[in-house]
Structure 1
Amino acid sequence: MKTVVELFKWSVLPLLILAALWTFPPKINTDVLALVPDDSMSEPVRALLSGPSEKLSSTVYVLIAGVTREHVGEQANNLLVRAQRSQLFQEIIWQRDATALATQYQQLQAIALNFSPAEQFIEGEYGNWLLSRWFGFETPVGVLQQDPLQIDAGINHFFAKQLGDAQMVNNAPYFQRAGEWATLLQLDAGRLAGSIPWQQDFNAWLEAEQSLAEVGAYQLLAVGSPRYAFAAMQQAKGEVSTIGVASLLAIVSLLLLVFRRPYLIAVVFYPLALGTGVALLVTQFIFGQIHLLTTVFGACLLGVSVDYSFHWLFAKSKQREQRISGLLALSAASSILVFLAQALSPYEALAQMGVFSAVGLAVAGLVVIVMFPRVVTSTSSHFPRVNWQRFPSLSPKTALVAAITAILLLLVIIISAPADDDVRKLQPLNKALQQEQLALGEWLSIDMSPRAIIVSAPSEDELLTLLQATQSRAEQLTLDEDFAVVSNLANVVLPRREQQRRIDALRNWLAHEENLTAVESAVGIDLNILALNERVNALEVLSLDDLSSYPLLEPWALSYYHRLTDDGALPSHYGAIFVTASATAWERLVSADWHQDVLLIDRADAISASLKLGREFASYLFAVALILLAALLIWKQGWRSGILRLGAAATGAVAGLLALYAADLALNVFSVLSLLLVLGLGVDFALFVAARATYAVNAVVCSAVTSILAFGLLALSAVPVLSSIGLIIAVGISVAFLAALMLSEQGANNGS
């Protein structure tokens, strides 16, 4: 009856945790930029990259192709209607609203002279330019009557270039290739694209659309970051679920086999569930959201927190539960210390993992120490009898030398070992999606990871001048081979002084009545002088800060950043030239000498560079954690015993690293995090097998079996980052267990 009452008391806390999680559900973040610390990039660079990157990460490009344009248009219109009904997208771009475009176009008339500077004006007399504009281009008389001075010519030419090879039919873009027609829709989900529920709903919607395409005899291709993110998440989720199920089955099987009391299943999983729930709430409270990688790494807590339960139950079976509590507290403290060091990382995602793990293990360990004595009244172990005293061990002197060698070797490897931080190698290759992207690329070019050339200058005019010079030099260096400029402010806006000069030149030219008389005579139309003067007098100089005020110029507004500075000589204006370039062309650009205010950035390379900094930071944190852990163990167990315990864990970590390199995988920031887990488990094993007491070693064997099984399956993952984590931990804890036995002191009796 007492046990039932205690179970009832302890059931209240999980209910409160569940209520809190229901009220404040965790917000899962899958954005890879969360891996990049705020201080690894300057504020302007991050701002310039995040705008287009955010747009790319939330947009899906859907191409519909078929034999006839009419059929393609009909299917696109049907898909548009279904997309609107799905309420999955904040913006759907296909057919443009002619009325809205006209309104937006009218807003540009006041700054019309600022567009397409290389095409709109030529050197020489203003009147000569105007006449060459009229007679060099066959401008319809109706257009001349509406815009006799061709002020809008720059706008027309500018937006014609943006259409590329597309043909506008009924306000929608169409492409023709090899006897087929296609049209493109852009589906933008905004910030919702990063949420897992949206990705699941979108994937279901897209599968239904692809089924309709098969029936309707047309081709539907879709690419975009949301698709890749969902595919990677599903693969990782499936593999982690497999690992979780395998671990659960292993733990349940061991509990039933060894203790033969079904109610212990609930008792053992209670600390795990409570620790996970509290860790989710604390991490959400501190960071406001939880990265997907945090939940994946959190799954690793399963093997660690269950260790505490196994140790206590085996000790209870030998009436040693009071003695074991002190070792449990020391084991938990060592693991928590390691993960708290990780929580100091400037990388939010990595700091989240540290906080999540430290809180989860602290709660799980505390629950075992406090709750188990009140709930578990008695238990008996049916573990096969093994005389662990006979397991071979090293002599005291050899063991000490081996332990010190392993610790020093681990420090050297973790700081100086070769590594590969390329973010591209952390993601799985989805062949089906790659084939879709290649097929869509045959129709049109959409670069999902644009490269950028960031330019800074003290003023707007200097920025635009430097942007234009930078583009020209880039084109010369690459000889235009596999290189194209996607967006450049200097191709849209002229320096302010040039804008003003052109406006003044046009006003002066218009002030001479004979110029207009000559035009009327040459063209054969009557000009409305009053209307012309009003329009010319309304022309304005465009400031880069005003770009965002014009909807049609919003894409270029994302390419500009203005930071206020006290010193006018310091760069305060930043612009980005977004380009597409082959690897060869980009290498040629990167190897060239540039102005000190020019910075070349590849988005993937920038993230990789930040991951490198994160790995180096984590490696130094690991070294600090190793030293602190040594101090803790020496303080609590004496210098010789402390070094032997830490040496066993270090041996496992070194073995995990060697296995990583043997599998042709490289060290990265997640490998370092895996070593933290090996270190924590290794110390845990060493503490409990120190005297080779049978009940303690049996508990370690059960813990090791569950962990090795779980992470052994993870090592087979097709996701490189998960595979490396699984391999390091599976091999590391296997060797750490053996090292703990070989480096332990012999017990004075046979398992007492």
Structure 2
Amino acid sequence: MAILPESSFMASTTPPRHSPQRNFGSSSKFSLQAMLPRVWFALVIVLLAALALLAQRGIGVETNLLSLLPSFQKEPLLQKTVERFAEQVNPRLIFLVGHKNPEQARTAAKKMAVALRNSGHFASLEAEIQQNTLETWQQFYFPHRYRMLSPEIRQLLKQPDAVAATLHRLQEKLHSPLSAFFSRMLPQDPLLFFSSFLQTLPKPPGQVFLEEGMLTVQDHGKTYLLINGVLQHNPFNIGRQAAVQEALAEIIEQATLSTSDLEVLHSGVFRFAAKAAEEAQREVLTIGTGSMLGILFLIIVTFRGIRQVLVVVLPLAIGLLTAVTVCSLFFVKLHLFTLVFGASLIGVSVDYAFHYLAKHRLSAGQWNSWEGLWSIFPALTMGVVTSILGYAGFWLTPFPALQQIALFSAVGLLGAYGTVVCWFPLLMKAPPSVASPPVALVAVKWFLQLWDAIQEHRATPVVLIMLGIGCLATFNSIQFNDDIRALEQRSPTLQSEAHRIRELTGGLEVSRFIVVRGKSVEEVLQRQEQATRRLQSLARNDPQFDFQSLAPLLPSQKTLAENQTLLRDALLAQPERLKQGLSNMGFAPEVVELFVRELLNSEPHGFSVKDWLASPISKPFRHLWLGKIEQKQVSLILLGSRHDAQQITVALAGIPGVAYLNQVERISSLFRQYREALTKLVALSYLLVLGLLIWKYRLRKAVKIIGSPVLATLLTFALFSITGQPVNLLHIVSSFLILGIGVDYTIFFTAGHHAASATGLAVLLSAITTLLSFGLLFLSQTPALEAVGLTVALGIGFALLLSPLALTKR
């Protein structure tokens, strides 16, 4: 779109040249210039009303870092499996209370557990194993003792003379040091099969053991007591994080003050989420405040007026109002990542105001506010279109948060653009009150003269082309890092504490586990048993290998039936011999008769998963049964941190519906795929923008316009290659911003070549505010934002230096 001459665009609405301001009569009250301010005012009122309604509903703020991760549309079952598992694991908090004196550690842990329970922030908290826990287990499983057989008993019953082997084992148990314990079970379980089953039940992971009713760890002369808690509310609920943190800090402080030399460690998703939220809130304030102060300083120094300061605040405020309102309509929650990035949007949305104010500041003679707008309108419009195209690149990523940023930024820019176009001519009717040119204009003129001199040389195009080729030559040595962990925002203190807890407890992994799927509950249980047997084989060869499976707790109906058949075939084939053997050991005749009768009459059915989940015994293991997902039944097998992924994958080969899942590798692989795809898309986007520019400006001028952002992008990534800066998906995505913002500068120079000084001043101010915003973003503690900030700051810096390429000779 070329700059429309007054004769064609405004011939019907432009009054005589002597009139300083267009004079619209009643007949033209519905003209464009009369309508625009009113329409925009009505839209702003609608936005304010919508925001007020949304505020009543509550505008949610998301702090869950996992929501930044891509969704796996091609694997919805795995995606939902991961999500459901995360829902169960995320609210958990683990505490270790340690002291050199075991009794003091125990007393402090009990007191701390009471304080945590009374805080009201925990849905459940477990420090002591209740005395009736064993009784509960016995009540649930004991009726099924002849169907739930341990591997030891199954092996025993498969021997040629199973009766003799069984009686020999019983004789050994009755003469062992634990005979007093076993004697209580003998009347109802003469062969002590149930005690063997109890020994196969899952034990605490790693180095944790049960002592005096509490889970205990010992390390270097210290005794640590374990407290497991589940938070009452979502750990990512930003409205409750501060209260929970304060309560935890107070409880821990009281515990350490009450008991000298007491060590309290605690970790969980909540701590990392709260830290990330706190950091993000700080960054929103820092980046937003820094950008605003920088903009205010530039306005005051350049335009020397408080009025200009107030005018510039309008597009910023309405841009953010538009962005927050529209995003809240399309998204249930706004991510803090979006708000931090939105703070950097301030430096971009002010560009349109700067171009208008620069035109106003440097106007000579009579000033016409609407003519001032129309003279830059084509460039403003093309600029906002290309900027939105730049942000649209974020929408093409698999990251929900980046897609939200794309909408937030695009809508925010439209809000700022609409404010400048519709209201600035009314707000800036008066001519500039300062006659002297701004100081920055001296630097702008010198810079433009330098580029005039550079473009005089015939070698300039060749040098620039060779520079671009040289940059491309460095791309072979770019180091790519697609590891998702590189984008984690982790506090060294929290990481150290979490590592210490894992070191002490040998906890199970939550990012690497085995998924078991099946069409029915029975199919899942059978596949789970197959996988467990293979893992048990690995565990026998590697004492450090640890895992947690539901197979011992939830046997399949097939296994229960096989166990009962095996038991009957092995022992009741010679019932008299079995009875005689028991009688010889001193069992009363009625006990022997009852035992044989129960073997004969017991029904071959067990209990359902529903029964098990309803029982309190399932509480420590419920997170392993995910139930129905996408018409499939799903369960998990958790693994210890010390395991060989390749070995496990080989061991599980051939079992349908069973897969080893490494979330880190899975997401990192997706990162790599999207990075490679988006790299091609960046190149395609530049070609599409070039096509748009050719349609508007013809080939020669279009190449000049796009040459600056292209070379800026090449220089940025060449610098990454030379300095060894690892490049990931977000660096590639940021290339869209270099294109979208960088091409603005060259478009403004092309459209405003007849007023290069005013254009140069506006471009300089715009670039400074953008560099300030993204430079502050580079200081973010969130690696994802840091990557975007670094790439855009470098790219826009180069784009600014190269922007006069688009100028024709003056």
Q: What is the TM-score when the length of structure 1 is the normalising length?
A: 0.86
Q: 2:226 aligns with which of 167, 179, 184?
A: 184
Q: Which one-letter code corresponds to 2:336 in the other structure?
A: L
Would you say 1:145 and 2:187 are equivalent positions? yes
1:481-523 Cα distance to aligned partner (Å, 9 max, x none): 7x52322344544454332021234456469476346425414
Mapped partners of 1:121, 1:604: distance in 2: 39
Would you say 1:656 and 2:707 are equivalent positions? no
Task: Label 1:20 to 1:677 Cα distance change in 2 as closer, same or farther (>3 A).
Answer: farther
Mapped partners of 1:348, 1:113: distance in 2: 52
The residue aligned with 2:23 is none
Mapped partners of 1:593, 1:550: distance in 2: 31
Give the 3-state SS of the residue equivalent to 1:121 in structure 2: helix
Matches within 5 A, 1:295-374: 295-317=339-361, 318=363, 319=367, 320-374=372-426
1:286-332 Cα distance to aligned partner (Å, 9 max, x none): 23223332223222211110111111211233242221122111111
Q: Which one-letter code corresponds to 2:96 in the other structure?
A: L
The residue aligned with 1:499 is 560
* Alpha-carbon distance, 1:219 to partner: 1.1
The residue aligned with 2:737 is 677
Mapped partners of 1:421, 1:687: distance in 2: 35
The residue aligned with 2:759 is 696
Mapped partners of 1:605, 1:543: distance in 2: 36
1:384-431 Cα distance to aligned partner (Å, 9 max, x none): 233254132436987777888889999999999542111212224533
Task: Label 1:361 to 1:142 Cα distance change in 2 as closer, same or farther (>3 A).
Answer: same
The residue aligned with 1:419 is 480
The residue aligned with 2:449 is 390
* Alpha-carbon distance, 1:734 to partner: 0.9
Mapped partners of 1:592, 1:671: distance in 2: 39
Give the 3-state SS of the residue equivalent to 2:705 in structure 1: helix
Mapped partners of 1:305, 1:431: distance in 2: 36
The residue aligned with 1:228 is 272
Would you say 1:552 and 2:585 are equivalent positions? no
The residue aligned with 1:641 is 701
Mapped partners of 2:642, 2:538: distance in 1: 13
C-alpha contact (below 8 Å) 1:115/1:492 kept by paired residues? no
* Alpha-carbon distance, 1:341 to partner: 4.3
Give the 3-state SS of the residue equivalent to 2:72 in structure 1: helix
The residue aligned with 1:604 is 664
1:623-646 Cα distance to aligned partner (Å, 9 max, x none): 343233222222233332222222
Task: Label 1:617 to 1:28 Cα distance change in 2 as closer, same or farther (>3 A).
Answer: farther
Mapped partners of 1:409, 1:635: distance in 2: 30
C-alpha contact (below 8 Å) 2:488/2:783 kept by paired residues? yes
Matches within 5 A, 1:518-529: 518-525=581-588, 526-527=590-591
Task: Label 1:311 to 1:416 Cα distance change in 2 as closer, same or farther (>3 A).
Answer: farther
Q: Which one-letter code corresponds to 2:731 in the other structure?
A: S
C-alpha contact (below 8 Å) 1:452/1:579 kept by paired residues? yes
C-alpha contact (below 8 Å) 1:224/1:448 kept by paired residues? no
Mapped partners of 1:219, 1:658: distance in 2: 50
Task: Label 1:91 to 1:545 Cα distance change in 2 as closer, same or farther (>3 A).
Answer: closer
C-alpha contact (below 8 Å) 2:509/2:640 kept by paired residues? no
* Alpha-carbon distance, 1:265 to partner: 2.8
* Alpha-carbon distance, 1:370 to partner: 1.2
CA RMSD of superposed structures (Å):
3.9
The residue aligned with 1:729 is 792
Would you say 1:623 and 2:683 are equivalent positions? yes
Task: Label 1:61 to 1:562 Cα distance change in 2 as closer, same or farther (>3 A).
Answer: closer
C-alpha contact (below 8 Å) 1:404/1:647 kept by paired residues? no
Mapped partners of 1:11, 1:461: distance in 2: 59
How many residue pairs match? The answer is 735
Mapped partners of 1:429, 1:489: distance in 2: 33
The residue aligned with 1:444 is 505
1:655-691 Cα distance to aligned partner (Å, 9 max, x none): 2223334443222122123222222210111122232
Q: Which one-letter code corresponds to 1:62 in the other structure?
A: F
Task: Label 1:307 to 1:10 Cα distance change in 2 as closer, same or farther (>3 A).
Answer: same
Q: 2:167 aligns with which of 131, 135, 138?
A: 131
Mapped partners of 1:162, 1:532: distance in 2: 36
Task: Label 1:133 to 1:283 Cα distance change in 2 as closer, same or farther (>3 A).
Answer: farther
Q: 1:39 aligns with which of 64, 72, 77?
A: 72
Give the 3-state SS of the residue equivalent to 2:315 in structure 1: helix
The residue aligned with 2:247 is 205
Would you say 1:86 and 2:119 are equivalent positions? yes
Mapped partners of 2:697, 2:469: distance in 1: 20
The residue aligned with 2:13 is none
Mapped partners of 2:699, 2:457: distance in 1: 13
Q: 2:141 aligns with which of 87, 100, 108?
A: 108
Would you say 1:260 and 2:304 are equivalent positions? yes
The residue aligned with 2:238 is 196
Would you say 1:480 and 2:566 are equivalent positions? no
* Alpha-carbon distance, 1:220 to partner: 0.6
Mapped partners of 1:284, 1:412: distance in 2: 45
Q: 2:82 aligns with which of 39, 42, 49?
A: 49
C-alpha contact (below 8 Å) 1:35/1:611 kept by paired residues? no
Mapped partners of 1:170, 1:224: distance in 2: 26
C-alpha contact (below 8 Å) 2:518/2:524 kept by paired residues? yes
The residue aligned with 1:77 is 110
Matches within 5 A, 1:497-576: 497-506=558-567, 509=571, 512=575, 515-516=578-579, 518-525=581-588, 526-527=590-591, 533=597, 537=602, 540-541=605-606, 548-553=613-618, 558-559=623-624, 576=636
C-alpha contact (below 8 Å) 2:524/2:635 kept by paired residues? no
Give the 3-state SS of the residue equivalent to 2:578 in structure 1: helix
Q: Structure 1 regions of 5+ residues with no counterpart?
A: 567-571, 748-752
C-alpha contact (below 8 Å) 1:66/1:219 kept by paired residues? yes
Task: Label 1:401 to 1:300 Cα distance change in 2 as closer, same or farther (>3 A).
Answer: farther
Task: Label 1:249 to 1:723 Cα distance change in 2 as closer, same or farther (>3 A).
Answer: same
Q: Which moved more, 1:195-204 or 1:244-253?
A: 195-204
Q: Which one-letter code corresponds to 1:134 in the other structure?
A: L
The residue aligned with 1:750 is none
Give the 3-state SS of the residue equivalent to 1:710 in structure 2: helix
Give the 3-state SS of the residue equivalent to 1:685 in structure 2: helix
Give the 3-state SS of the residue equivalent to 1:540 in structure 2: coil
Task: Label 1:565 to 1:366 Cα distance change in 2 as closer, same or farther (>3 A).
Answer: closer
The residue aligned with 1:463 is 527
Give the 3-state SS of the residue equivalent to 2:350 in structure 1: helix
C-alpha contact (below 8 Å) 1:400/1:644 kept by paired residues? no
Mapped partners of 2:550, 2:314: distance in 1: 59
1:98-127 Cα distance to aligned partner (Å, 9 max, x none): 557744652334555666743453232554
The residue aligned with 1:291 is 335
Q: Which one-letter code corresponds to 1:84 in the other structure?
A: R
Task: Label 1:377 to 1:104 Cα distance change in 2 as closer, same or farther (>3 A).
Answer: farther
The residue aligned with 2:19 is none
Would you say 1:172 and 2:214 are equivalent positions? yes
* Alpha-carbon distance, 1:445 to partner: 1.5
Give the 3-state SS of the residue equivalent to 1:419 in structure 2: coil
Q: 1:30 aligns with which of 63, 71, 74?
A: 63
C-alpha contact (below 8 Å) 2:512/2:661 kept by paired residues? yes
| Higher Rg of the two aligned structures | 2
C-alpha contact (below 8 Å) 2:517/2:524 kept by paired residues? no
Q: What is the TM-score when the length of structure 2 is the normalising length?
A: 0.80
Q: Which one-letter code corresponds to 1:703 in the other structure?
A: S
Q: Which one-letter code corresponds to 1:64 in the other structure?
A: V
C-alpha contact (below 8 Å) 2:88/2:623 kept by paired residues? no
